Structure 1
Amino acid sequence: MTLMIFFVMLIMESATEKLCPLRASIDVLEGEYFFLCYLESRQEHFQEEAYTINWYKESAGKQQLIKETHRIVSQMNFLEFWPAELSDSGIYSVIHSNGKQNVTIQKWTLNVLERNKSSCFNENHLTTEIKSAGIGHSLKCSDLSVYENDSITWYKDCKNYEHETERELNFRALTVQNSGIYTCKIVISHEGTIYHSTNTIKLVIEEDAPEAFSLEIVGHHEEIETKIGKEEILNCTGFLGYYMREDASLYWLINQTFPEQCTDIPENEPSICEEELKKLQLGNKFYITRLLRIKKVRDEDMHHNFTCMLQADESTRMKIVKLKKGKTQDLPVHIFTTGMVLALLFPFVAVAVVFVFVMFRVDLVLFYRSICRRDETAGDGKEYDAFVSYLKDCVSPVEEEREFALKILPMILEENFGYKLCIFERDVFAGGAFVDDIHSFIDKSRRLIIILSQNYVSDRAIYELESGLHKALVERKTKIILIEYMPISDYNFLPESLSLLPSKRVVKWKKDKSLPVNSRFWKNLRYLMPAKPIKIKTRGHYNNLGLGSEAAQPRTEGCDFNAII
């Protein structure tokens, strides 16, 4: 009898393993059936004489016991939602207790997404798979239910797809026509009510294979110079390819030991902790990144190996970071003595110097460049000082914005300050390969100037922005300058990765106040541009630069070129 129970439990555990993927963060649509589950080790079955299992949800930093209702049901290793609601979003955990101690078995972050009532799927609730034409492939309907007799229906672009009812949708040889958005819908009957769960996959078929890809960590092994007591933040970023791999993991090791997790309460954080995994998409490329925070560097940290591990598809990549003491030099006695005397006798001097530097930092830097004839552009192989990206509609709803980009900006920067700009409408003629042109001209430019507005939504403008962000955040080849032409209250129309840029690289246009050549706007812009020896013409204004109605028109047929694209 005991042997029979053992085999039954083995079979149940094997089935549970298939249904319980190790997923820390989960997205689910509101109104759909969903479940959380965890794996219970065999030792807990036989070694614990008596224990209880409780499910908790974290709210306002405190764990609250989940009480069963007709909608939320706890069954064996499962917590089921009939169905999930927006208010269910939060952090869940399952805890075993034997009366003496509590053990947290697993934690999840559940995100319940709002349903798109005009479509059968939500854009934020899909995965993307990019494949080459001519190869075989299968789309798999994830384990969305624990019940065996559920009916399954496949949809392509929200239309019933060839009456397919299997959990896998098989293609012998992919063609471009197979591209589309596929939705797998599982129908579940529970206590006389019909529920369903969906899984959506965006399948992209390319006639030419995507560029060769291998799982990799951005950067190489490195040594970082630091000093005792200083805070250090180690970054590790993994490139996953052209779709987000759910099985990918990225984590830090300290001499083959896992670090503790960072908390929301700084006072309770350990001296070295690991932050949460973050996902990043730049264009059609996907990345994951994780930070290791060292509050205060200790002497023993200089002897540790900080190893970042990237794992996916049974492949492993690693990057080792070591800390070393930087070279220090004792301060000469006479300088130390002089500094102490000044600090004691004239404390206001330090405050005044700081105030002057903060208030006139830009002016001081520009003056230093002018006096020293500093040139950052010599020998760097770049052709342009900046690539200008802006709204490119044929008929702009804001004509002043078009005039600013094609007339005022080049007139001041090129003719008054000697910079060389690349403006797509003006400098690139129709007939080229758009994608190649964009990459080529951004690569040839030292800066990428982005003129932001609510109208910055054209396909090409977004592509220029994503290309520039990739070069700034990942390749670190190009610095970005953001010009806020009009006040913007909501940045949701821009890529999320734009928030990673420092706020000091944003310059705001204030209409008439910014028009004079010696205004704060042009000084801030020149401060962000590369330093080069120039002859400044300070006598200039929008109204006396010869900007008539004819000058407001671009020099090439940029509008027609946009229409072709």
Structure 2
Amino acid sequence: MAAAGWVFFLAALSSVGFTETHNHNGVIDVYHVSAGHLFLLRCPNTDSITNITWRREGRHNLSLPAGVEVRDGLLWFLPVQVSHNGSYTCEKRDETGFYGITIGVSVSSAQCPHPPETIPVREGVNDGLPCKQREIFGLNKPRNIRWLKDCGPVQRQGEPMNVHEDGFMRLPSISQKDAGIYTCLVDISLDGKNYTSARSIKLTTYNKPINPEPTVVIAHQEVVVVEVGTKVELKCYAYIGFSEDNETLIYWTVDGTFADGYEEFQESKEHSNDGGQLYSVTTLSISKVLRWFLDVPIGCHAMTTDGVKVSYVRLQEADHSALYTSVALCILIPLTVLLLAVALLFFKVDLVLAYRKLSGRFSKQQAPDGKLYDAYVSFLHPETVNSSEIEKFALQILPEELENKHGYSLYIRGRDDSPGEAVHDAIAATLSQCCRLIIILSPVAKSCSDVKTEEVPLSDNLNQLSYEHKVGLYNALTQNSSRVILVEIDGPVDYSLLPESLCYIKRKQGALKWRKPSAENNTLSKSHSNRNLWKDLRYHMPSVPVGKLRTVV
């Protein structure tokens, strides 16, 4: 393989952060120069002009010969002498490491140096040749640029050549006669002395297709998302021309080192035809992605004697945050729904009461259906049956909790009725103005029919109670104008002794139970055993107390 190809190879490694911790003892390139010319040599793969040292190889004395010196990292030959022929090593030390590169300098006595590269140009096109003297042009000194063909003046038929300021020689309508060795001469003045620098290029012409420069067809800095520990394949498509005999070398590097140096990497190659043009598909198989393979440049290189083309790809670990979020949502949403269902099941009463309390603060309250009372309280008076606990609950405890604490308005017969009024008419009218009917029952309470069977004459209280039950239950069951709330006092009630309508209410919605407080805690409102009773009773009561509406005007 030609020496110029190795120059491109090293440049490609440098572009991916290539560093060495040892010297390259072999000569990686040879520059052909003519004695008597100015020659500046740059250390390959370095743009920096600092931390560069030079020495001559192959002699006991490694110091530079006379006429050769280092300026700003460049090796200056002022001018080149036959005795300067040999190998020179440049070394660089910085924070990335240390490496050295050895370059050969071949000095001849010919007027024009040997051409290190060949440029093919199609006949009939307008093209030209560059004056590849980067270091000389970088001096920014006054200069004169001249071109020679085969070490003589450039003479061509037809339109003459044109030389640009950067040294580029333009040749219109190139023909076969333009083929030859061209030398770019740059005359420059340095330190009061005149020097000439020379660089030769060979121009060839053709009138049929030839193999083009290799083209690596993968996106620059492409990112491939991978899973650590899994297998991955990377493909590199490189167009190599029109013949499989093309001297194109395609290889992979990982963080600046050859991929075939790792057991996890395997390379395979095949050729394919696309419209008469061949391209090589090189596959890099990674058997197991290690973590250190992530975010390092992996390069595909296509190298010929004319140069190197390279493109890079980086492996990036897959981001599972979206997946984790989706899984979390899939778990949390059903769990949240389940918790809400459980909360509604076990804390329904508390939630409803809390909602009523909040909505009552932020919304304008209106009395339900224009009713005057929140509930009608019906109970059997103690003069008929010996049950003073019922009277105490109905006339003292119940009003204390519902009216005084929560602002409800209750109609309690024996407390709110007027003497001398028509009892049945008053009961019917009052029940129609109440949102609820609270019936207080006890184990000793019996229906009016049961009293009849014992041939005990019905008292006015029993008659009124019987009428309250009939009117209230009838309205609740047939007209749905009010709801019935059963409250049992001190123990289970035998519903077989009560009217069928009360038994139906009991089966449909159950009954609230009140227990007499113990002697240690005689205050009912503070009794833990009846705390749930008051919450359940308020839950069954209207959401907007009528009593409070009377105070909000």
Which interval holds the TM-score relative to the shorter structure? 0.3 to 0.5
TM-score by length of 1: 0.32
- Report the structure number with the largest CA radius of gyration: 2
